[in-house]
Amino acid sequence: MTTDSTLRPEQAALVLPPAGSALWRRDFLFGAATAAFQIEGATQADGRVPSIWDTFCATPGRVARGDTGDPACDHYHRYDADVALMAELGFGAYRFSIAWPRVIDDNHRLNPKGVDFYHRLLDALDQRGIDAYATLYHWDLPQHLQDRGGWLNRDTARRFADYAGQIAHALSGRVKGWMTLNEPWVSAYVGHAEGRHAPGLRDPRYAVEAMHHLLLGHGLAVPALRANDKAPVGLVANVNGVTAASEREEDQRAARRAHASNNHWVLDALFLGRYPAELQALWPDAVVPARAGDMEVISAPLDFIGINYYFRAVVASDGDRGYVVHQQPGVERTQMGWEVHPDSLRDLLIEFHQRYPNLPPVYITENGMASDDHVDGGRVHDEQRMRYLGRHFAAIQQAIDRGVDVRGYFAWSLLDNFEWAYGYEKRFGIVHVDYATQQRTPKDSALALKAFFQQRAQAGA
């Protein structure tokens, strides 16, 4: 078996998909993923306007140790070397996000200097034969729109569609796939009900309103993208496994409601044209600000769906209408405290395939884990991540065997980066970043993936 010379064969084998699986075929896409605010830095460069995450970071107590998005990984200045590293590792695709505050000014017009950065990035990808997949919204709403109500204001959905059309026109023919929103559940619920993310609001009613306007923005952006470019269009939804903590009816009911919130809220709207009925029981005071025709806009056909998956949650009744996460003892967890449970990825993909007859092709657009990684003698030994990747590859193949049309996988993340409210203490990258020096060190997981890609190329399937 061909491996990187610094890895033993048994180490490299930890990430290998099952022999003969679809993931060994050359037409199964393997990429790495990042997000603008988490890696770019340069938050005040070249006309970029402030975002809600700039404001959130500047608010004492919001982000661990007062960390901010600057300089992050300084990708704004180091993008060419980062793309070269991706090529060296053998990735065929790169999923990145376009910073709305970087490319659109506060008068809703294109900022040429901001757009030029993404042209340069796309040039670097083109030169190395790496396909570009662009996410339009990875949580960095311009602050001037938040000042007008943000996602609680229906007009933000229209502004998003305007931005989508303008940037698609500016980058027409250069992107292999457009992704409108990243994880609208996190934007809506974690940002508007829990307050752990920007804009830091804490009312479930706000989450319901924000979710509808996020999805409406997606629906309005789809035709705007298609009018300006021919690349496929999709949305990225985060999902997680949900299991009841006991057989008690109240815990079973709590699990059904958690499943509806975490996994069906977005996908039912996209593929069934309605919201799950269970949400009304969870938040009886919330009112969806829907108008006639909204759900038809939201549920327009997509070319693909992106699925982000990390963990399973075991939930119990909170004694009221909701649920709480039960910390199951004796299970494998990541640095985030999330349970490692690849079977839930398989089961969710199969369920979605059965629940949504119009489910388009699927890409796993994020999957990975945080660990407390350190450079030791020029190496980063992250065996847990290697096992994590290999086990999730097997789960994806099991879903494919059951008829799910999975066409690609993007590892989260290419680089250690700014992990939102956790600042820089959680490391999701397959490449270690020394934030003081900006030194990049591929971890053992990156070297093992490189060996797999080489072996797959030699197999020529």
Active site residues: 366
Distance CA 197, CA 186 (A): 8
- State the pairing for strand pair 362-366/406-412: parallel
Distance CA 122, CA 412 (A): 20
CB-hemisphere CA count at 13 Å for 228? 20
Cα-trace Rg, the chain: 21
Provide the residue type at 105 as one letter: D
What string of DSSP letters covers 421-454?
GGTTS----SEEEETTTTEEEE-HHHHHHHHHHH
Burial 174-205 (b: 16+ CB within 10 A, else e): bbbbbbbbbbbbbbbbbbbbebbbbbbbeebe
CB 132 within 8 A of CB 31: no
Strands (E), 125-266: 131-137, 177-182, 233-244
**CA angle at 259 for the pair 256 and 263, rounded to the nearest 5°:** 155
CB 6 within 8 A of CB 35: no
Task: Sort residue 403 into left (φ over 0), alpha (ψ -120 to 50) or beta.
Answer: left
